[in-house]
Amino acid sequence: MKREIFNEDHQLFRDQFRRFVATEIEPHILEWNAAGITPRSIWKRMGEEGYLGCNMPEEWGGAGGDFLFDAIIMEELAYARAHCVQASLHTDICLPYLETYGTDEQKEKYLRPAIAGDCILAIAMTEPGTGSDLANVQTRAIRDGDDYVVNGAKTFISSGQNCDLVIVVAKTDPEKAHSGISLILVDADAPGFERGRNLEKIGLKGQDTSEMFFSDCRVPVSNLLGEEGSGFKMLMAKLQQERLCIAVGSMASIRRSLDDTIEYVKGRKAFGKPIAAFQNTQFVLAELETEYQIGQAFADKLLAAHVRGDEIVTEVSMGKYWGSDLQKKVAAQCLQLHGGYGFMKEYPISADYCDAAVQSIYAGTNEIMKVIIARRMGLGD
């Protein structure tokens, strides 16, 4: 089905990036998954080829394109099962904070090298005792002269081992809730900053995911991003794009699971005929294909609206929760159609099943998405 939101330039870019993935990423995915981390060299190659910052201004080294170019990168990496390359986190979640709220000095120091692939970015929101409730973060950044002194702990931080710069969500005024939150830029070599272990996960094996510790970590006041106390508003402003990224990636992963399963059931035989000939198989895949087409149409509608600059917080909350739940459903039912082979690691559908699990958890749990939707419908508090 032709997707009307993409023009000829987008398609040429997709073809180009698909070739890059096929030659420079796909041959290494199993190796990187086994290592639990992706080498820095691939980030540099992505930067050299212009794949980190397609949507960033040309004056800072970006391509000056629209968000659809970034969406293509998300889709192609997800379809290739290259979840080990956390380009969306770097480009579509972290970079916008620097581009929108950073000073010219901060952009020169961090944004330009990040687009070039020389500075890997991470954002530290989640804490051991605080998940979706950002107003309750316990990490403190208390001003002391020309520095902030940061104390606290973060966990489940993607790119936590590789990152050169962390955007840290911290309380600069512990007496306040939302208005006490600020975003602090912490260099990985800052004194008092320590990376914890690379956490072992059931899925997304090639993504380094870490604990972080701040012990009297001194950061120059010039590393404050935006205004003090404006951190929560900044986070809320950027979460629309973050949640859209989840919806876009989910659809691409669903497409890959379905494509592989359709091919498998055509070749796998039972009782003397391909299992694709059984009505149950046909009905299951027909239903999943229908739901995928509906989900993809909705995701494309959201992409178009986001590129126009529309405020679509409610809709992306729907897309994030519905798309990620559908991804889990498709992976589970496609694994079932693989039979015992689906439970074997050598069949990629097993990885799809494990990788899908976190989609409904990060970027705000799906339960939180439903709270947002309900409140914006005028329901509840």
* Integer Cα distance of 307 and 299 in angstroms: 12
Please choose, from the candidates 373, 67, 37, the residue with its C-alpha nearest in 3D space to the C-alpha of residue 207: 37
Place of tokens 């094996």: 205
Please say whether the beta carbons of 352 and 256 come within 8 A.
yes
In a 3-state reduction of DSSP, which class is residue 155?
strand
Query: Are the CB atoms for 58 and 107 separated by under 8 Å?
Result: no
For 4, 96, 286, 329, the CA distances from 258, given in Å and listed in that order, are 22, 33, 10, 11
**What is the phi/psi pair of residue 25, to 5°?**
-120, -55
C-alpha Rg value of the chain to the nearest Å: 21
Strand partners, 187: 165
Tell me how far CA of residue 278 lies from CA of 23, 84, 198, 262, 333, in angstroms.
38, 36, 45, 13, 15
CB hemisphere CA count around 263 (13 angstroms): 9
Active site residue 242: yes
Q: Residue 165 phi/psi, 5° resolution?
A: -140, 135
How many angstroms separate the Cα of 380 from the Cα of each of 171, 318, 320, 324? 28, 17, 21, 24
Residue 379's SS3 state is coil
What is the three-class DSSP state of 130?
A: strand
Of 76, 127, 242, 315, catalytic: 242
Distance CA 196, CA 212 (A): 5
Q: Are 274 and 362 in contact (CB under 8 A)?
A: no
Structure tokens at 222: 């010039």
Q: Which residues are known catalytic residues?
A: 242
